[in-house]
Structure 1
Amino acid sequence: MPTTQTSTAETPIAETPTTEISGATASGRPAAGGRAERIRRLLSDALAPETLTVRDESHRHVGHGGWREGGETHYEVIVVSKAFESLGRVERHRRINALLAPEFTAGLHALALTALTPEEAGKRAP
């Protein structure tokens, strides 16, 4: 069953409604909800991941470029999806960045991305 993860807790993606957030409002501003949740929903809707981890790592970048008070500027995102099977690493990252364009416009500064196929993820498992 597909899972989504915040910090270390896993929640099935199926439990997350996918119709509540479109990613951006008509004004181009991100839709309501915390940034991690919006990222999770955008990627879940577009990529149907088997696993998805979204971690706010802003606290590790205090004082660095792009950091803002309140965080939500730097994230680690790990996506395992069959949607990546025909794509190389650069194209996978481009696709994720394009999906998250409204978030970058609204203050998301950096992503640490890992984008794998299920087969690749299986080879990395301990």
Structure 2
Amino acid sequence: MKPTDTPSTHITDEAGLSDRKERMTALLEDALAPSKLIIRDESKRHQHHAHTRSAQRNARGPQQVGQTHYTMEIVSERFDSLRPLARHRLVNEILSDEFEHGLHALSLTLKGSKEA
């Protein structure tokens, strides 16, 4: 983050998407061309975590509370040749900027096209 940037500057991407779920959907669809993509925001179940509240305020400002914990189900041909750990690493790499700006946790179910 640049010293002159406000936290909210970093929650909008080039396409103008300010909702984390929308941004992650666009990133994952572009990178993985999934046949199935389900993203659920589970942040409310974790809002009592002290580190979550302080990390959100530091990364995105107090007006942007939430959007920190997600579950995802993804089916993609891109996973066909990858082992489970490599699949998780790939998704984490695709979403690395989101992790830098307030995303805290993902619960992933990742399958290749032949496993669905």
Report the CA distance between 1:77 and its aligned residue. Answer: 1.0
Give the equivalent residue in structure 1 for 2:39.
Answer: 54
Amino acid at match of 1:108: L
Cα RMSD after superposing both structures: 1.7
Rounded to whole Å, the distance in 2 between the matches of 1:47 and 1:56 is 20
**Deviation by residue 1:36-90 (Cα, 9 ceiling, x = unmatched):** 0001010000000001001100011121254237210000011100000000000
Kindly name which structure, 1 or 2, has the bigger radius of gyration based on alpha carbons.
Answer: 2
1:4-43 maps to which residues of 2 (within 5 A)? 29-30=10-11, 31=13, 32-43=17-28
TM-score (norm 1): 0.69
Rounded to whole Å, the distance in 2 between the matches of 1:35 and 1:116 is 23
Corresponding residue pairs, total: 94
Give the equivalent residue in structure 2 for 1:98.
Answer: 93
Q: Which runs of 5+ in 1 are unaligned?
A: 1-27, 122-126
Name the one with the larger helix percent: 2
C-alpha change, 1:58 and 1:117, in structure 2 (3 Å) is same
TM-score (norm 2): 0.75
CA contact (8 A) 1:82 1:118 kept: yes
Q: Percent identity?
A: 47
1:101-116 maps to which residues of 2 (within 5 A)? 101-116=96-111
